[in-house]
């Protein structure tokens, strides 16, 4: 079946024109291949149309006149054009796919590159599944068009025009038969496009429901068997399966009706051509060879109409996919570099001045409100508070993973929004709660932090956090493959890689976002030692969940309901007997309290 189009994906005329213009601009690097493909399509069309004309010549000048030489010439030329047409069609197919696949290859890279530039706020707004679909199903829908649809669309369009022109040149009387049938086929094609699209949408919906029923039946099999609901689940699956069957059959009926009408039109056209053509031959207006050529060329008229109708949904789906992908390319990153950006200083204080912030889609709630805080050069600050209080959000603003809605975050007296992104990422580094590892070796994963780093640089970074012995003990040392998502390493070792990345950058400010919260006590101690190595001589902002970590900080900031409610040293806050004192007391009595 041709690809179906979601009603929300249908483009209006302005959007269609915009997509076409932009696609032509994107296709400029491949214009030489495109011109070659078009030339080959025209040449293939001429070889295809020349076949019936050579049959006409053979009948009129060879068979009717008993001229063997003329007949042999017709046969030889027919064989030669058929052979040329074969090789041209193969090269034409390759050229079209070269141009199309080159376009898709570069489009994938551009879209992926744009996604990599987007800020955390973008990924908060957009669902990961939707973004993956843009790079998979949307590209795939265009791949279907490029691999065969584009070739069919252009070649059949040219063949239809050329064939109709040749028919009129041979006999305008017989050509009027085709012209009389084309409006009927045109109306039928419009109806087919509308009805078939609805039928295909129904099929897609029923496929989704059937798969959902299947997934539930497999994922919930323990519950189903525990309560003896096997028969009921089978009945549910039977209903969705029957609905899918009915949707497919309806689609088949729609196709059968339309394609049957096209075939009937072809039969009527051939019958009328033979009948009327015989009368015209009797009058001496045309030759018998002309009738033969007409009958052969009629297939060039009706098959393109049929195939172009089949391509309608594919073309529309591809246009909608391009529109979505161009939308991603047009998305301006929330965290971007200003034209007059300057490099940050090597050292300096971090100042949070009157900052308020709310996440997109946050139901109107502010994650932070009117927070003012100065973190001195070389100071260690611990952020504590309950889940959802805003401490991680404050840490992300310090690293400019987000920009504040109100207020300013500065480093060394420079607003982070005025800093070059390269200097920002060199001066301020975040170690997240869970270090993500890419497929490759430990060494390659550490080097992600600084691509130009040498092997010695990487080894020094690992030694700097005191983890050399740990990784040297692995089978291949730093060249040990971590496998997908670092599955070969323990949780603690994965976090050590994250800390080594930070050491490789050697930042002025280190932001630790609950870097030990997912570790067991034994592993946590190992990572804590590495963190102590890393924190030496730097400004550190640590989002803490255990008071053992908090007590080692120079100052503690307590965040609650998006506000900075307390700030001071451990002893000062204990004497104050406020929110922090309550948390410390809960820890002392071994009650599990999250801070």
Lowest mean pLDDT among 48-52, 188-192, 344-348: 188-192
Specify the length of the chain in residues.
Answer: 595
> Exposure pattern of 270-295 as b/e (b: 16+ CB <10 Å)?
bebbeebbeebeeeeebbebbbbbbb
How far is the C-alpha of 309 from the C-alpha of 291, rounded, in Å? 28
Q: Which residue has the tokens 């022109």?
A: 165
Confidence of residue 592 (pLDDT cuts 50, 70, 90): very low
Confidence of residue 2 (pLDDT cuts 50, 70, 90): very low
Would the pLDDT of 97 be above 70?
yes
Paired residues of 384 in beta bridges: 558
Tell me the two tokens of residue 116: 């990599």
Would the pLDDT of 171 be above 50?
yes
Report the 10 Å Cβ neighbour count for 323: 17
Report the 10 Å Cβ neighbour count for 298: 24
Higher pLDDT, 551 or 370: 370
Tell me the two tokens of residue 57: 């010549």
Q: pLDDT of 174-232, one tens digit each?
A: 888 888 888 887 788 778 877 877 777 787 778 878 888 888 888 888 888 888 888 88
How far is the C-alpha of 381 from the C-alpha of 391, rounded, in Å? 12
163: closest CA among 51, 73, 35, 88? 51
Would the pLDDT of 595 be above 70?
no
Higher pLDDT, 215 or 68: 68
* Average pLDDT over the chain, rounded to an integer: 84
Crossing angle (nearest 10°) for helices 31-57 and 288-329: 170
How far is the C-alpha of 549 from the C-alpha of 551, rounded, in Å? 6
Determine if residue 432 is left, alpha or beta; phi over 0 gives left, psi from -120 to 50 gives alpha, anything else beta. beta
How far is the C-alpha of 36 from the C-alpha of 573, rounded, in Å? 77
Higher pLDDT, 506 or 16: 506
Tell me the two tokens of residue 429: 């580094």
Residue 290 and residue 171 in contact, taking contact as beta carbons nearer than 8 Å: yes
Paired residues of 374 in beta bridges: 351
Higher pLDDT, 20 or 525: 20
Neighbour order of strands in the sheet with 350-357: 368-375, 350-357, 406-411, 414-415
Tell me the two tokens of residue 435: 């270090």
Calculate the dihedral angle through the C-alpha atoms of 144, 147, 150, 151, rounding to the nearest 10 degrees.
-150
How far is the C-alpha of 553 from the C-alpha of 543, rounded, in Å? 11
Would the pLDDT of 518 be above 80?
no
> Exposure pattern of 144-156 as b/e (b: 16+ CB <10 Å)?
bbbebbbbbbbbb
Q: Per mean pLDDT, which of 352-361, 419-428, 468-477, 543-552 is the most reliable? A: 419-428
Lowest mean pLDDT among 135-144, 204-213, 304-313, 567-576: 304-313
Tell me the two tokens of residue 100: 């199309």
Please give the full DSSP string across 365-433, using - where no structure is assigned: --SEEEEEEEE-TT-EEEEE-STTSSHHHHHHHHTTSS--SEEEEEETTEEGGGB-HHHHHHHEEEE-S
Higher pLDDT, 563 or 491: 563
Would the pLDDT of 20 be above 70?
yes
Higher pLDDT, 427 or 362: 427
The pLDDT score that the predictor gives to residue 594 is: 46
Tell me the two tokens of residue 161: 């025009």
Burial class (CB in 10 A: 0-12, 13-18, 19+), 76: exposed
Would the pLDDT of 522 be above 70?
no
Lowest mean pLDDT among 104-118, 206-220, 386-400, 419-433: 206-220
Q: pLDDT of 405-457, one tens digit each?
A: 999 999 999 999 999 999 999 999 988 877 788 888 999 999 988 888 899 99
How far is the C-alpha of 266 from the C-alpha of 370, rounded, in Å? 77
The pLDDT score that the predictor gives to residue 509 is: 94
Higher pLDDT, 567 or 148: 567
Q: pLDDT of 226-264, one tens digit each?
A: 888 888 889 988 998 998 899 889 888 887 888 788 888
CA angle, 446 then 402 then 509, to 5°: 50
Read off the pLDDT of each residue in 60-74 and give the average, rounded to a whole number. 88
Of the chain, the end-to-end C-alpha distance in Å amounts to: 57
The pLDDT score that the predictor gives to residue 591 is: 46
Cα dist. 347→54, 56, 426 in Å? Answer: 85, 88, 11
SS3 576: helix
Q: Which residue has the tokens 């929300």?
A: 8
SS3 140: helix
SS3 516: coil
The pLDDT score that the predictor gives to residue 494 is: 86
How far is the C-alpha of 349 from the C-alpha of 581, rounded, in Å? 28
């Amino acid at each position: 079946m041709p690809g179906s189009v979601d009603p929300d994906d249908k483009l209006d005329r302005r959007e269609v024109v915009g997509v076409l213009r932009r696609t032509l601009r994107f296709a400029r690097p491949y214009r030489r291949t495109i011109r070659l493909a078009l030339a080959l399509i025209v040449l293939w069309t001429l070889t295809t149309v020349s076949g019936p004309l050579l049959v006409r010549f053979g009948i009129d000048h060879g068979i009717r006149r008993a001229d063997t030489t003329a007949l042999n010439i017709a046969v030889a030329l027919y064989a030669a054009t058929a052979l040329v047409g074969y090789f041209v069609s193969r090269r034409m197919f390759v050229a079209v796919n070269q141009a199309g696949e080159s376009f898709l290859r570069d489009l994938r890279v551009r879209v992926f590159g744009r996604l990599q530039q987007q800020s955390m706020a973008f990924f908060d707004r957009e669902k990961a599944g939707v973004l993956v679909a843009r790079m998979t199903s949307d590209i795939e829908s265009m791949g279907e068009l490029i691999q065969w649809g584009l070739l069919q669309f252009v070649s059949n369009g040219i063949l239809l025009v050329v064939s109709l022109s040749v028919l009129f040149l041979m006999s305008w009387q017989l050509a009027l038969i085709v012209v009389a049938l084309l409006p009927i086929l045109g109306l039928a094609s419009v109806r087919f496009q509308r009805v078939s699209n609805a039928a295909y949408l129904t099929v897609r919906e029923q496929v989704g429901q059937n798969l959902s029923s299947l997934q539930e039946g497999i994922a919930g099999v323990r519950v189903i068997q525990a309560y003896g609901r096997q028969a009921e689940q089978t009945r549910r699956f039977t209903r969705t399966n029957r609905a899918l069957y009915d949707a497919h059959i309806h689609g088949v009926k729609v196709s059968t009706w339309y394609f049957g009408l096209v075939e009937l039109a072809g039969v009527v056209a051939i019958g009328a051509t033979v009948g009327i053509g015989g009368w015209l031959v009797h009058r001496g207006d045309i030759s018998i060879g002309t009738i033969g050529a007409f009958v052969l060329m009629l297939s060039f008229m009706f098959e393109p109409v049929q195939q172009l109708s089949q391509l309608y949904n594919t073309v529309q789906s591809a246009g909608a996919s391009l529109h979505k992908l161009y939308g991603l390319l047009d998305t301006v990153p929330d965290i971007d570099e200003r034209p007059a950006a300057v490099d940050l200083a090597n050292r300096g204080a971090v100042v949070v001045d009157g900052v308020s912030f709310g996440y997109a889609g946050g139901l109107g709630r502010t994650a932070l409100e009117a927070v003012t805080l100065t973190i001195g050069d070389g100071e260690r600050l611990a952020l504590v508070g309950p889940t959802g209080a805003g401490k991680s959000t404050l840490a992300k603003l310090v690293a400019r993973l987000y920009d504040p809605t109100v207020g300013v975050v500065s480093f060394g007296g420079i607003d982070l929004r005025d800093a070059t992104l390269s200097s920002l990422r060199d001066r301020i580094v975040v170690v997240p709660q869970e270090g993500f590892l890419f497929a490759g070796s430990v060494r390659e994963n550490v080097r992600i932090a600084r691509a130009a780093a040498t092997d010695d640089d990487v080894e020094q970074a690992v030694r700097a956090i005191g983890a050399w012995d740990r990784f040297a003990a692995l089978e291949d040392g730093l060249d040990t493959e971590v496998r997908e998502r670092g599955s070969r390493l323990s949780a603690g070792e994965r976090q050590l890689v994250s800390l080594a990345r930070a050491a490789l950058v050697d930042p002025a400010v280190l932001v630790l976002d609950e870097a030990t919260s997912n570790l067991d006590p034994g592993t946590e101690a190992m990572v804590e030692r590495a963190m102590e190595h890393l924190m030496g001589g730097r400004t550190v902002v640590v989002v803490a969940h255990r008071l053992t970590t908090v007590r080692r900080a120079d100052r503690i900031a307590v965040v609650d309901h998006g506000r900075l409610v307390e700030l001071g040293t451990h002893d000062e806050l204990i004497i104050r007997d406020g929110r922090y004192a309550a948390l410390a007391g809960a820890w002392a009595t071994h009650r599990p309290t999250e801070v």
